[in-house]
């Protein structure tokens, strides 16, 4: 029997992700792509452009800005949106901003108000019925059972029991008036796949992923890089220049750096093959009780 040419794992992942994005656009009334500026978002955007070429992507990107992102992230976001000719919507929870949140001393509330609530606001305000996100199932055991098309009930809540089976990648996108979908085209990708794909395709990512000398200080056992002066140093803390990089990107006071010499993609991948530290170990908001991701998901974070 003749066998069709074997596609590589990356080829298959790419084709499936493109298929998922096209399904979303074909079946949903008003979809949006959640853009978080991180490496997964860079891959999502790259796939989005491929999926609809030569047309301009028929949906905008939405960035929920907590106002505590690294400056380099925002610069990168604006330049990429311009260069790729994609419509970018920025949403900031103005009410939350007025009331004020403190990512340093109350990380949980900050994340809830500026990220979770903010995302719900944005989706409701624009009337988006489907939000494409870059979450992967391998990121956290809580995601192992997540669907590719995840149904959210009223208030964007994840309702575990109402999730739909997806045999043959057949996605049921029918919605009741108050329901929405979260769509995860990178569900089957691992962190390694993401980096290998970035390497293969030459996708640009925020330079914070690469090791460089940066001003660091230690707080709550986390190595932080001071991005602006909104967080005063406490007695005993001092800025030490260290060669560090980030494995994930978020609000700068909540994102721990790792000491590393990996200054390019090959270095990053080599480090990942070597250290075998799970990806989210560096992110402070995940140093909560082990079901935190689960709870945030139910609240509509992802």
Partner 1 sequence: MAVANDITALADRLAALQSRDTLRFAMCGSVDDGKSTLLGRLLAEAGMVPEDRLAQMVRDSKTHGTQGGKPDYSLLLDGLEAEREQGITIDVAWRYFGTDKRAFIVADCPGHAQYTRNMASGASSAELGIVLVDARAGVLTQTRRHTAILAMFGVQHVLFAVNKLDLIDYSPARYHAIEQECVKLAHDLGIEHADAIPVSAINADNLVVHSPNTPWYTGKPLLQYLETIKIARAVDAAFAMPVQWVNRPDHTFRGYAGVVAGGRVAPGNEVVVLPSGRLSRVVRVVGGDTDLKNAEAGQAVTLTLTDQIDVARGDVIADPALPPEVASQFACHLLWLDDTALLPGRRYQMKLATCTAGAQVTEIKHRIDPDTQAHLAATRLVANEIAYCNLSLDTDIAYRPYREDRRLGGFILVDRETNATVGCGTLDFGLRRDSNVRWQQLDVDRVARSRIKGQTPRCLWFTGLSGAGKSTIANLVERRLLADGFHTILLDGDNVRHGLNRDLGFTDVDRVENIRRVAEVAKLMMDAGLIVLVSFISPFRAERQLARDLIGEGGFMEVFVDAPLAVCEERDVKGLYAKARAGEIANFTGIGSPYEAPERPEIHLHSDRQSAADAAALVVKLLTE
Interface with partner 1 (CB under 8 A): 1-12, 14-16, 18-19, 22-23, 25-26, 49-56, 137-138, 141-142, 144-145, 160-170, 172, 174-176, 187-188, 190, 192-193, 196, 199-200, 266, 269-270, 273, 275-278, 281, 290-291, 294
Comparing CB distances to partner 1, the nearer of 98 and 145 is: 145
C-beta neighbour count of 159 within 10 angstroms:
13
Comparing CB distances to partner 1, the nearer of 106 and 159 is: 159
Q: How far apart are CA 153 and CA 157, in angstroms?
A: 5
Q: Nearest Cα to 193, choosing from 51, 10, 14? A: 10
C-beta neighbour count of 108 within 10 angstroms:
13
Comparing CB distances to partner 1, the nearer of 164 and 230 is: 164
Nearest approach in angstroms of CB 161 to partner 1 is 6
Nearest approach in angstroms of CB 250 to partner 1 is 19
Comparing CB distances to partner 1, the nearer of 154 and 273 is: 273
Nearest approach in angstroms of CB 39 to partner 1 is 16
Which residues lie closer than 8 Å to 178 by C-beta, 6 or more apart? 153, 154
Which residues lie closer than 8 Å to 182 by C-beta, 6 or more apart? 130, 131, 132, 133, 149, 150, 152, 302
Comparing CB distances to partner 1, the nearer of 7 and 82 is: 7
The residue with tokens 């298929």 is 19
Nearest approach in angstroms of CB 128 to partner 1 is 18
Q: Are β-strands 31-34 and 130-132 bridged in parallel, bridged antiparallel, or unpaired? A: parallel
Q: Which ranges in the chain belong to alpha helices (H)?
A: 9-27, 39-52, 71-84, 94-99, 107-111, 118-126, 191-201, 265-275, 292-298
Comparing CB distances to partner 1, the nearer of 7 and 230 is: 7
Comparing CB distances to partner 1, the nearer of 72 and 204 is: 204
Rounded (10°) CA dihedral 145, 189, 28, 31 = 110
Nearest approach in angstroms of CB 148 to partner 1 is 10
């Amino acid at each position: 029997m003749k066998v069709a040419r074997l596609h590589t794992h990356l080829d298959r992942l790419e084709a499936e992700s493109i298929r998922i994005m096209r399904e979303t656009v074909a079946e949903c009334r008003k979809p949006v792509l959640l853009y978080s500026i991180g490496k997964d978002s860079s891959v999502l955007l790259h796939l989005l452009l491929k999926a609809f070429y030569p047309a301009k992507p028929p949906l905008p990107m939405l960035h929920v800005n907590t106002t505590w992102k690294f400056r380099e992230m925002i610069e990168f976001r604006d330049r990429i949106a311009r260069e790729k000719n994609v419509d970018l919507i920025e949403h900031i929870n103005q009410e939350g901003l007025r009331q004020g949140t403190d990512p340093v001393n109350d990380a949980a509330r900050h994340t809830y108000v500026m990220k979770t609530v903010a995302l719900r606001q944005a989706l409701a305000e624009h009337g988006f019925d489907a939000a494409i996100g870059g979450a992967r199932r391998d990121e956290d055991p809580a995601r192992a059972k997540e669907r590719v098309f995840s149904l959210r009930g009223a208030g964007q809540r994840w309702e575990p029991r109402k999730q739909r089976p997806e045999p043959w990648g057949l996605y049921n996108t029918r919605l009741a008036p108050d329901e929405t979908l979260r769509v995860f085209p990178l569900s089957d990708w691992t962190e390694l796949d993401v980096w290998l794909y970035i390497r293969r395709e030459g996708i640009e990512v925020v330079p914070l992923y690469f090791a460089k000398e940066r001003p660091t200080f230690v707080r709550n056992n986390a190595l932080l890089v001071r991005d602006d002066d909104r967080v005063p140093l406490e007695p005993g803390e001092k800025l030490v220049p260290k060669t560090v990089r980030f494995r994930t990107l978020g609000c700068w006071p909540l994102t721990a750096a790792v000491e590393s010499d990996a200054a390019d993609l090959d270095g990053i991948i080599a480090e990942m093959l070597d250290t075998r530290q799970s990806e989210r170990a560096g992110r402070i908001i995940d140093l909560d009780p082990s079901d935190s991701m689960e709870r945030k998901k139910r609240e509509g974070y992802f």
